[in-house]
Amino acid sequence: MPKCGSQVLLCDLPVRFDTYKGCSHGCVYCFAQKKANMSDIKPYESVFVLKNFIEGKRGRDTSWCDWDIPLHWGGMSDPFQPAEKVFRRSYDCLKVFAETGYPFVFSTKGALAADPEYLGLFAKCNVVGQVSMVSPKYDGLEVGAPTFLERLGMLEKIAPNVKRLIVRISPYSAGLANEVASYMQDFKNAGVYGIEIEAMKRGKKRDGWVKVGGDYCYPVEVLRRDFETIRDAAKQSGLAFFVGENRLRAMGDSTTCCGVAGVHGFNPNTANLNSFIKNGRINYRQKMEEIGTAKCFLDGYLQDSVSNITIKKTSYKEMMEIATNTKVFLNVMGADVTGGEPDILSRGR
């Protein structure tokens, strides 16, 4: 079943769908390798679970979601990596997406996304495509993936067959602003709608980096300067600009950083800290106020047994309201927060 974890705090499309476990791209920076052996590639979520979700069936951590929220396909593994040639799990799911018109976003570096067999199905889907690519300097860090220039060639094939095509400049490394900016016109010429940028994060401390939530990150002012350079080049080329870096989300044309805002049939989740920072409030759906709809917060948020008991008796709304008063989460979103934190296990009960 498509899953949703603690990213629901920050992300407008937090429900992920993965047709594979493991990935052959070999990206040395991949966050997913912390949770799984990425070299062990096997089919994962199936046509059956996809159909169930589309029909309205929800799992433990998506019980708060009672509408056709767009799925983010490729959250933990690339759906169009070489293993797809063998298993064809993604092709079978694409046929379901095409038949139902259910909205989704795919994220890929895989060459199969530009294969005519797949392009023909994309053209029948309600889909926004994302191709991840930063710089030719990354080719040595992504040894199993197509090169930067090969992905550049994929763009013009994919763009006419999706509602929008976004280039994900992620994970961005500080100091590459001028080089990245130099590709904006190439992206535009290939039919790309816009770019999304998010910086590298690390689990271990590095000189000059700062702690943000559970990660070490570039100082925000370093990123702001680089992002401004890239944004100006994007705008000059006629591209939309989105920022996946939580502390700088407001720099983008929309705080829904995946680029789906305004696409017909795409209705993301705005009941999160992203909305709270922007508007000073959160508007909840009725389902989110029901007891037991907070279980998505167990993933990476409150994982001990006491928290489990608490969350079973708590609503999505209650947990999100706690988050809006919790310093560490607001700091992740770039808010300048002072004062103590509330007791996150007692508030809202």
| pLDDT at site 302 | 54
| pLDDT at site 297 | 86
Q: Are 75 and 16 in contact (CB under 8 A)?
A: yes
Alpha carbon distance, N-terminus to C-terminus of the chain: 29
The domain total for the chain is 2
- Same-domain pairing of 309 and 220: no
| pLDDT at site 301 | 53
| pLDDT at site 247 | 94
HEC readout, the chain: CCEECHHHHCCCCCEEECCEECCCCCECCCHHHHCCCCCCCEECCCHHHHHHHHCCCCCHHHCCCCCCCCEEECCCCCCCCCCHHHHCHHHHHHHHHHHHCCCEEEEECCHHHHCHHHHHHHCCCCEEEEEECCCHHHHHHECCCCCHHHHHHHHHHHHHHCCEEEEEEEEECCCCHHHHHCCHHHHHHCCCCEEEEEECEECCCCCCCEEECCEEECCHHHHHHHHHHHHHHHHHCCCEEEECCHHHHHHCCCCCCCCCCCCCCCCCCCCCHHHHHHHCCCCCCHHHHCECCCHHHHCCCCCCHHHHHHHHCCEHHHHHHHHCCCHHHHHHCCCCCCCCCCCCCCCCC
- Same-domain pairing of 168 and 305: no
| pLDDT at site 334 | 83
- Give the residue numbers spanning the domain of 154: 3-251
**pLDDT (tens digit, 9 = 90+) per residue, 7-26?**
899 999 999 999 999 999 99
**pLDDT (tens digit, 9 = 90+) per residue, 323-335?**
898 887 888 888 7
In a domain, 279, yes or no: no
- Same-domain pairing of 241 and 159: yes
| pLDDT at site 54 | 98
- Same-domain pairing of 206 and 326: no
Q: Which residues of the chain, if any, have pLDDT below 70? A: 33-36, 300-307, 336-349
- Same-domain pairing of 52 and 130: yes
- Same-domain pairing of 239 and 299: no
Distance of alpha carbon 241 from alpha carbon 233, whole angstroms: 10
Residue with tokens 């989110």: 288
In a domain, 215, yes or no: yes
Global pTM reads 0.93
